[in-house]
């Protein structure tokens, strides 16, 4: 079993998730990449230890993270069982269902049948009795919202999840879902959406404002735009970068001349703030206190150590904010 750092809670800051009782670290670790069966198990362990040793209590998964789908949960479950199980009560483990997971009509989207079966499989893969947060991973336009929200409520009331979450919803859908979940007295507390200097969707689709008004948490995924908002691609495409090692979601075509110019200019602003570009990009997401936590990915422990420094300076001058907008919008 791993022995965690005794000083792990000294530097990390924690924010209340909406008006719930749950505090989340301002930086959370996602296992979408680098935890599938194609990655090194020893590195996965180091990533989890580095995170946990530095106060990152929250580990985010989904049924389909891999490759193969399911393997991230399986590998994380192994780390838990072999190394971290004594710390289970100090950890927030989340998972999701909503994307294609198995063949046939019951392995995708938002039916009660799919969500409950998927959660059972996730619990088995991770070897846990419950997850802390269970999300519907994306809206399903063809299933009644009442059914999907009812399934989240069943997950919680059956003790298989402590809290419910929604991912990739917009403001309007969030508002409808919140009303249903309130009627059910279901502890729905958090929205998981993409948000970064390069992706302002939640500012435009009502999600950010609605979540703030309804007092629900937001956890921002891909806050580094999968690595583009770092110094990773400033001098070419490194062999060990996500583009080269994986390429399923971040492709070489994303690194256009215009993108590189933006990254270069943002890097200069970050230097002026005595931050790395990664730190500044995370600080920017946290700047107004509406986002509860930034949900980072990492391929190396050193990236986690860099990223957690973001919580030390989330103040921006009006000039800095304008300069960032002028470059990126």
Ligand X SMILES: NC(=O)c1ccc[n+]([C@@H]2O[C@H](COP(=O)([O-])OP(=O)(O)OC[C@H]3O[C@@H](n4cnc5c(N)ncnc54)[C@H](OP(=O)(O)O)[C@@H]3O)[C@@H](O)[C@H]2O)c1
Binding site for ligand X (CB under 6 A): 30-33, 60, 137, 167-168, 192, 221-227, 230, 232, 241-242, 278, 295-299, 303, 306-307
**186 vs 250, beta carbon nearer ligand X:** 250
**Rg (the chain; Cα; Å):** 19
Residue 229 CB, nearest approach to ligand X (Å): 7
Beta-strand pair 188-194/161-167: parallel
- Nearest distance from C-beta of residue 224 to ligand X, angstroms: 3
Instruction: Using CA atoms of 65, 281, 135, 248 in order, give the dihedral in degrees to the nearest 10.
Output: -30
Please report how close the Cβ of residue 264 comes to ligand X at its closest, in angstroms.
Answer: 15
Q: Do the beta carbons of residue 186 and residue 156 sit within 8 Å?
A: yes
Nearer CB in complex with ligand X: 237/322: 237
Which residue lies nearer to ligand X by CB, 305 or 323? 305
Please tell me the distance from the alpha carbon of residue 58 to that of residue 82, in angstroms, as a whole number. 18
- 77 close to 61: Cβ distance less than 8 angstroms: no
Nearest distance from residue 318's CB to ligand X, in Å?
A: 26
CB of 187 to ligand X, least distance (A): 19
Phi and psi (nearest 5°) for 138? Answer: -160, 155
In the bound state with ligand X, the residue whose beta carbon lies nearer, of 80 and 298, is 298
Triad 161, 175, 167: Cα angle to 5°: 45
Query: Which residue's CB is nearer to ligand X, number 178 or number 275?
Result: 275
Other residues' Cβ atoms within 10 Å of the Cβ of residue 10:
9
Kindly state the smallest distance separating residue 157's Cβ from ligand X, in Å.
Answer: 24
Buried/exposed code over 234-269 (b: 16+ C-beta within 10 A; e: otherwise): eeeeeeebbbeebeeebeeeebeeebeebbeebbeb
Q: In this complex, which beta carbon is closest to ligand X, that of residue 55 or of residue 297?
A: 297
């Amino acid at each position: 079993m791993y022995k965690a750092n005794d000083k792990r809670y000294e530097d990390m800051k924690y924010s209340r998730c909406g008006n719930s009782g749950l505090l989340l670290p301002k930086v959370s670790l996602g296992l979408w990449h680098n935890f599938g069966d194609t990655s090194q198990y020893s590195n996965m362990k180091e990533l989890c230890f580095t995170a946990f040793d530095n106060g990152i209590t929250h580990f985010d998964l989904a049924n389909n993270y891999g490759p193969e789908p399911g393997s991230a949960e399986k590998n994380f479950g192994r780390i838990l069982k072999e190394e971290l199980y004594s710390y289970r009560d100090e950890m927030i483990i989340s998972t999701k269902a909503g994307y294609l997971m198995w063949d046939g009509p019951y392995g995708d989207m938002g039916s009660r049948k799919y969500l409950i079966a998927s959660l059972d499989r996730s619990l088995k893969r991770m070897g846990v009795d419950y997850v802390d947060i269970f999300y519907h991973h994306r809206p399903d336009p063809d299933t009644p919202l009442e059914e999907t929200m009812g399934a989240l409520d069943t997950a919680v009331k059956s003790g298989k999840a402590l809290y419910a979450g929604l991912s990739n919803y917009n403001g309007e859908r969030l508002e409808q879902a919140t009303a249903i979940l309130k009627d059910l007295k279901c502890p729905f507390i958090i929205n998981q959406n993409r948000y970064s200097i390069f992706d302002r969707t939640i500012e435009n689709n009502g999600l950010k404002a609605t979540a703030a008004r309804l007092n629900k948490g937001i956890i921002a995924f891909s806050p580094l735009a999968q690595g583009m908002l770092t110094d990773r691609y400033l001098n070419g495409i490194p062999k060990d970068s996500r583009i080269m090692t994986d390429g399923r979601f971040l492709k070489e075509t994303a690194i256009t001349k215009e993108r590189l110019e933006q990254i270069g200019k943002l890097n200069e602003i970050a230097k002026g703030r005595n931050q790395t570009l990664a730190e500044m990009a995370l600080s920017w997401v946290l700047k107004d206190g509406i986002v509860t936590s930034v949900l980072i990915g990492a391929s190396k422990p050193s990236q986690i150590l860099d990223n957690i420094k973001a919580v030390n300076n989330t103040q921006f001058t009006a000039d800095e904010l304008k300069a960032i907008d002028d470059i990126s919008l």
